Amino acid sequence: MRKTKAKLIYNPTAGQIWNQFKPEFAKKFLENRGWNVDISATQEKGDATKQAKIAVDEEYDVVISAGGDGTINEIIQSIAGNNIILGILPVGTTNVLARELKIPLNYERALSILVSGKVVDCDLGMINNKYFSLMAGIGFDAQLVKDVDSFLKKISGIIAFAASTPMTIIKNKATKMKIVLWDQKRKRKVLKRKCHQIIISNIETYAIDYIISPSAKFDDGLLNVAIFRTKKLIDFILGLAYIVFNRKSEDKITEHYHISKMTIKTHEPVPIQIDGDHIGFTPANIEVKPNYLKVIKPMD
């Protein structure tokens, strides 16, 4: 039987400075269990996408992401829709996808899952030709991601977002949006809203453990859309406070839809983020790509 051929792509700047990943340890662990492992370090934004593309071209069996959700997102841009499998070693700041898949957050324990786990098919979302595994945000959260200082994020993780939130709230404005949705049966619905935030989710949790989309699943062939219906800034602030203290969104200010596709046009450009990285501005074209990513997770 042919040995598993794996490309380990790691981000040397991922996570907090006191939790350093040791790629040679991971390589030795896997090679002691019969794998062939090549290591690639990223140096700048976009490197993981390029290195994963090489792994696809060279017919690797597995691409291992050792970083955070941002590193995973770069990798899936190249491996989505291919037979190559994603392995996850969570050494980033929040590691939302690893949490969703029940992968241990200690990367040394997560190594054993690469060997003993099972391969499952996951849906992906796509927005403006960019894939996302977790969520896409349009509005306030995307502006917050854009505002966060990357060095502060590295030092203090979620504290960086908390520090940036007040200023982002103050300058955030509700925007007129035309939203066109297509459901599972491709039935079309047109909405006109003035709001601060839309979140398109592939999983139920948001930012570690906030439940924004409780019915979202990564393998149901659909995306969940949460539209915050708050026009007034004070109502939006109160809605955010409710989420922070209750770890879930309030149905009174959030309307939900399950969609296969949607488009969003706004009165003025609104920022977009996917999986915690700012990628541009509206308009947005969104769709689900069912069973588009193979990933290793623990056995049930």
The neighbour count for residue 105, using CB atoms within 10 Å, is 14
How high is the pLDDT of residue 279? 94
pLDDT one-digit tens code per residue, 245-285:
666 766 677 899 999 999 999 999 999 999 988 899 999 99
**Peptide bond before 23: cis, by omega within 30 degrees of 0?**
no
Query: For the chain, which residues make up each domain, given as ranges?
Result: 5-116, 130-290
Average confidence (pLDDT) over 104-128? 95
Kindly state the DSSP code that residue 61 receives in the 8-state scheme. S
Amino acid identity of residue 8, one-letter, is L
Cα separation of 28 and 44, whole Å?
Answer: 26
Could you tell me the pLDDT band of residue 164, with boundaries at 50, 70 and 90?
very low
Torsion of the alpha carbons at 7, 275, 132 and 281, rounded to the nearest 10: -130
pLDDT one-digit tens code per residue, 172-195:
688 999 999 999 888 999 999 999
CA atoms within 13 A on the CB side of 174: 16
- Please determine, for residue 212, whether its predicted confidence score (pLDDT) is greater than 90: no
Average confidence (pLDDT) over 206-230? 86
Which of the two residues, 44 and 18, has the higher pLDDT score? 44
Kindly state the DSSP code that residue 208 receives in the 8-state scheme. T
Tokens found for residue 208: 């570690």
Average confidence (pLDDT) over 1-10? 85
Contact status, residue 110 vs residue 103, Cβ threshold 8 Å: yes
Place of tokens 């794998």: 35
Which of the two residues, 190 and 105, has the higher pLDDT score? 190
Contact status, residue 201 vs residue 133, Cβ threshold 8 Å: no
Cα separation of 216 and 201, whole Å?
Answer: 7
Least confident interval from 54-68, 76-90, 151-165: 151-165
How high is the pLDDT of residue 161? 41
Place of tokens 């689900």: 288
* Range 130-290 classified under CATH 2.60.200.40: yes
Cα separation of 291 and 124, whole Å?
Answer: 7
Average confidence (pLDDT) over 111-123? 96
How high is the pLDDT of residue 287? 97
Q: State the distance between the two ends of the chain, measured CA to CA, in whole angstroms.
A: 26
How high is the pLDDT of residue 162? 45
Least confident interval from 72-81, 132-141, 150-159, 206-215: 150-159
Which of the two residues, 126 and 173, has the higher pLDDT score? 126
How high is the pLDDT of residue 158? 43
Tokens found for residue 233: 């800034």
CATH number (1.10.10.10, 3.40.50.2000, 3.90.226.10, 3.40.50.10330) of 5-116 reads: 3.40.50.10330
- Please determine, for residue 68, whether its predicted confidence score (pLDDT) is greater than 50: yes
Amino acid identity of residue 244, one-letter, is V
